[in-house]
Homo-oligomer: A and B are copies of this chain.
Amino acid sequence: MSDVKKVVLAYSGGLDTSVILKWLQETYGCEVVTFTADLGQGEELEPARRKAEMLGIKPENIYVDDLREEFVRDFVFPMFRANAVYEGEYLLGTSIARPLIAKRQIEIARETGADAVCHGATGKGNDQVRFELGYYALEPGIKVIAPWREWDLNSRTKLLDFAEKHQIPIAKDNRGEAPFSVDANLLHISAEGKVLEDPWETAPEYVHTRTTAPEDAPDQPTRVTIDFERGDPVAIDGQKLSPADLLAKLNQLAGDNGIGRLDIVENRFVGMKSRGVYETPGGTILLAAHRAMESITLDREAAHLKDELMPRYAKLIYNGFWWAPEREMLQALIDKSQEHVTGQVRLKLYKGNVIVEGRRSPESLYSQEHVTFEEDTVYDQRDAEGFIKLNALRLRLSGRQK
């Protein structure tokens, strides 16, 4: 066990991270700094502060931050500029929150002179990787503690025993085992494990908490207009909103209309497949709207280059490489493409469907005079012959080869 003086713990206030808190004090004999962030997960933060105090953390060692605006502005929106989707479907809701938590933990470690950081992710998942790659990239010499890989509290019973022994309060609903595991922030909520482990079984309706079932959504569609500026959404139905408020508003609209559910088997970075049920209501609208906005403002080859690089970009975020040079290089490419992605998209929301009805832009590349079936002067149809002939030349030579 290496020597640790002070550790910054990503602390939710829940049972698990409270046990970790005590375990750190006991195992490492070190000072613990707690860091609790509001990323829009929908929980009060003050109880976490009080619980940290109750567990003996000094007030100056308790950090509680509202990071919602930074989260959406500097992480969610840049990612959506790329239309990032992992394995064709997953909108990366959990993945994109981790780099921000890691960054803030390292900042606090610097502020408090801590020599270690600690997270509560297990040894089987992706989150441990995302946290730790962030820590190491931002502070190469930092000491990382991952209790779930180190301790022997590897069953529910042992964990509860430890909690009782150390007088950590146990909420009633923490007594039994949760039927699945959850992660939440302003972009999404995820469920995995236990009742979801058999991928042939239908996910029970009760795992969904942010979206109405399509069957129960209103029978009348909702229409909404989103304004974009340089690739980012800035207004809904004409009303300018801050990034976090805008995403919250989209979550409301989408959730009400049964939009944003996903049930997939995905490939983890650590090697196995896992089944997850995700709800990303606002993000689902945003992806469709952003694509529609790009469809009239982005050059063809710019769009195709983005499409070809997107899976790689999404994989970097999924695997935890947000702070890696190659992600920053791809971001530079993506951001360069968004200079003219400005305008409006009109959408219809109805029982799980996001339907694009219209798009317009002061910087549109769509040229009605070029597509019209009417006679025209801007496009000479005879040009197509030369275009085809030269594109065909190599095929004709190859055809002779066969």
Contacts and interface: CB of A to CB of B under 8 A. Distances in A.
A326 B301 contact: yes
A367 B307 CA distance: 31
Contacts of A54: none
Interface stretch (A21-29, A34-42, A267-275): A267-275
A296 B275 CA distance: 10
Interface in A317-336: 321, 323-326, 328-330, 332-336
Contact of A295 (B215, B264, B335): B264
A126 B395 CA distance: 17
A290 B2 CA distance: 42
Interface of A: 83, 87-89, 122-124, 128-129, 132-133, 136-141, 146, 148-149, 154-155, 181, 193-194, 197-203, 214-215, 219, 221, 261, 263-267, 270-275, 291-292, 295-297, 299-305, 307-308, 311-312, 315, 321, 323-326, 328-330, 332-337, 340, 346, 350-353, 355-360, 363, 365-368, 370-373, 375, 379-401
Nearest to A130: B388
Closest 4 CB pairs of A and B: A386-B386, A123-B381, A271-B393, A383-B386
Nearest to A295: B265
A355 to B, nearest CB: 7
Given A122-B381, A358-B201, A382-B386, A324 B270 contact: no
A136 B333 contact: no
A375 B272 contact: no
A202 to B, nearest CB: 4
A293 to B, nearest CB: 10
Q: Which residue of A296, A301, A304 has the most chain B CB atoms within 10 A of its CB atom?
A: A301
Nearest to A335: B332
A390 B400 contact: no
Contact of A199 (B199, B296, B400): B296
A383 to B, nearest CB: 4
A205 B324 CA distance: 38
Contacts of A396: 136-137, 140-141
Given A333-B333, A389-B387, A391-B387, A372 B197 contact: yes
Contact of A272 (B154, B295, B371): B371
Contacts of A355: 261, 263
Given A295-B265, A336-B329, A308 B302 contact: no
Given A194-B373, A326-B302, A87 B295 contact: yes
B401 A301 contact: no
Contact of A271 (B264, B265, B391): B391
Given A311-B307, A381-B122, A392-B132, A181 B88 contact: no
